[in-house]
């Protein structure tokens, strides 16, 4: 009878290690196999926990007779072919655990378990929680690092409540936040700090279909450890919807693209797929081999212009305008706001043109002064910040932050056609998972 093994995708990342550290409890006795390539962000973790993980290398599979395979964090054959290369006669059972639900499985005969999770590790944790299985504190720490890394510290748009449940499960089993923090800390090396400053000086700012996109292009001799951490740090520093860095690798004759996105309507996985890469909607990369001399950077910019649909605007966010006539009294204004359920409204003149803004707070001042029969224009705010139908939601966000306002009238031909309130914006933030499909799949 043959042996049973489990492994993750090539270029193993933290979520891959986290998934395997949990899978060993679902599949006790299975040998864990390590890829020949470990992603730079996961190398420190593997160095620290090497003895605990007890993994064999893919090459060592030649010494074993395998009759069952369990695969973590991918359902694409190209990402696991390095393992099957050493077991060419394998014809046994294949089970896949992969949270990339949007990807088709091309591994022949595989049974796939998937679900809506921000991290693949979370899916394994939830299965262990359901079975009331306890895990070792070291495995709990490895798994928590995987969840933190793949969810962007629980900030990515694909994070679900079950990712938090998984993290709680791991904390209850002794996961160390201190260790996770050290494993995830960025820019440890001198060359990373140097590259960070060099890249900052090459950044180009673009407004592409209403999105704030930053890009950079740089020549490197070859691939460098910790590039992704540098990109993430720059993305954290710069206020942009997405950042894509293009590295021309001179010795290899290749190009490496690494991207990060914060806007849930920009799917970097689809973008990188166009270059033969992969990843997540908010973090993806692509290595384009034998591409020396090709204008990859120009092609990237052109593709973004063509394939990104326009960013959401005030049209998708605004509510119907409830206006107040400048001739109305504060009392009439208060009744109108109460009837409409608004805390503020634009004030208009006889031609429906914007002349001010009145809020319940302004009316309260008149009430305290015993002036509820005073005309509304005596208490309204003048020189009102406003937007138009084509103002993007990103621009609206900046208006709220910069001017500390709670109501933003939307104008067309100088007339009020709607307004966006702070509560409208908050609802948008809470429901941004519903706003996808900006880059249509071909």
pLDDT tens by residue, 258-267:
999 988 889 9
d(C-alpha 10, C-alpha 4), whole Å: 19
Q: Please report the pLDDT score of residue 228 as a whole number.
A: 86
Please say whether the beta carbons of 210 and 310 come within 8 A: yes
Q: Does residue 436 lie in a domain region?
A: no
One domain for residues 196 and 176: no
pLDDT at 435: 42
User: Which stretches in the chain have pLDDT values below 50?
Assistant: 433-442
Residues 412, 388 share a domain: yes
Q: Which residues pair with 292 in a beta bridge?
A: none
| pLDDT value of position 169 | 98
In this structure, the answer to whether residues 32 and 137 fall within a common structural domain is: yes
Cβ-contact 397, 420 below 8 angstroms = no
Among 276, 307, 338, which residue terminates a domain? 307
In a domain, 442, yes or no: no
Which pLDDT value is given to residue 434? 46
Residue 441 lies in a domain: no
Specify if 121 maps to a domain.
yes
212 and 295 in a common domain: yes
Give the up-direction half-sphere exposure of residue 327: CA atoms within 13 A in the CB hemisphere. Answer: 4
Domain endpoint, select from 307, 324, 348: 307
CATH of the domain at 170: 3.90.1640.10
Question: From the CA atom positions of the chain, what is the Rg in Å?
Answer: 27
Beta carbons of 399 and 407 less than 8 angstroms apart: no
User: Based on the structure, what is the number of domains in the chain?
Assistant: 3
Assigned domain for 435 exists:
no
Last residue of a domain, one of 254, 275, 307: 307
Indicate which CATH number applies to the domain containing 219: 3.10.310.30
Q: What is the pLDDT of residue 189?
A: 79
Which residue is listed with tokens 């706001």? Answer: 337
Q: What residues have CB less than 8 Å from 26, skipping those under 6 apart?
A: 124, 127, 128, 133
Residues 134 and 233 occupy one common structural domain: no
Residues 27 and 156 in one domain: yes
Report the pLDDT value the prediction gives residue 317, as an integer from 0 to 100: 86
Residue 424, token pair as written in the block = 């409208």
> The tokens 């730079």 sit on which residue?
40
The answer to the question of residue 347 being in a domain is yes
Structural domain including 415 reads 315-430
Contacts with 189 (C-beta within 8 Å, 6 or more apart), sequence order: 225, 226
Assess whether 375 and 334 both reside in one domain. Answer: yes
213 shares its domain with 92: no
Residues 212, 149, single domain; the answer is no
Are residues 299 and 177 part of one domain?
A: no
Residue 126's nearest CA partner among 160, 101, 162, 97 is: 162
């Amino acid at each position: 009878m043959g042996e049973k093994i489990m492994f993750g995708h090539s270029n193993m990342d933290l979520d891959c290690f986290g998934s395997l550290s949990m899978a060993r409890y679902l599949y006790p006795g299975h040998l864990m196999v390590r890829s020949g390539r470990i992603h730079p962000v996961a190398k420190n973790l593997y160095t620290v926990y090497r003895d605990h993980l007890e993994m064999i290398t893919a090459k060592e599979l030649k010494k074993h007779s395998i009759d069952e395979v369990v695969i973590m964090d991918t359902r694409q054959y190209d990402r696991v072919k390095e393992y099957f290369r050493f077991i060419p006669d394998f014809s046994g059972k294949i089970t896949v655990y992969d949270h990339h639900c949007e990807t088709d499985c091309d591994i022949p005969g595989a049974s796939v378990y998937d679900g809506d999770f921000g991290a693949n590790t979370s899916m394994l944790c939830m299965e262990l929680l359901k079975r009331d299985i306890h895990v070792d504190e070291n495995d709990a720490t490895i798994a928590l690092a995987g969840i933190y890394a793949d969810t962007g510290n629980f900030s990515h748009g694909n994070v679900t409540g079950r990712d938090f449940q998984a993290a709680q499960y791991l904390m209850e089993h002794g996961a160390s936040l201190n260790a996770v923090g050290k494993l995830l800390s960025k820019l440890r090396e001198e060359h990373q700090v140097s590259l960070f400053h060099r890249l900052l000086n090459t950044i180009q700012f673009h407004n592409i279909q209403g999105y704030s996109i930053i890009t950079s292009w740089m020549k490197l001799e070859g691939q460098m450890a910790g590039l992704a951490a540098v990109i993430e740090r720059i993305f954290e520093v710069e206020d942009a919807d997405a950042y894509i860095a293009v590295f021309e690798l001179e010795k290899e004759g290749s190009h490496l693209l690494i991207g990060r996105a914060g806007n849930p309507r920009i799917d970097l996985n689809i973008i990188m797929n166009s270059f033969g890469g992969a990843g997540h909607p908010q973090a993806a990369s692509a290595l384009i081999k034998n591409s020396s001399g090709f204008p990859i950077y120009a092609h990237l910019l052109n593709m973004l212009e063509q394939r990104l649909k326009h960013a959401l605007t005030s049209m998708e966010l605004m509510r119907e305008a409830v206006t107040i006539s400048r001739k109305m009294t504060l009392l009439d204004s208060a009744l109108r706001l109460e009837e409409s359920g608004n805390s503020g409204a634009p004030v208009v003149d006889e031609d429906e043109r914007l002349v001010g803004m009145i809020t319940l707070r302004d009316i309260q001042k008149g009430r305290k002064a015993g002036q509820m029969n005073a005309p509304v224009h005596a208490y309204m705010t003048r020189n009102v910040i406003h937007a138009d139908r084509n103002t993007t939601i990103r621009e609206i966000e900046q208006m709220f932050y910069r001017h500390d306002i709670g109501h933003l009238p939307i104008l067309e031909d100088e007339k009020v056609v709607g307004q966006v309130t702070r509560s409208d914006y908050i609802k948008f933030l809470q429901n941004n998972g519903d706003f996808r499909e900006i880059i249509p799949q071909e």
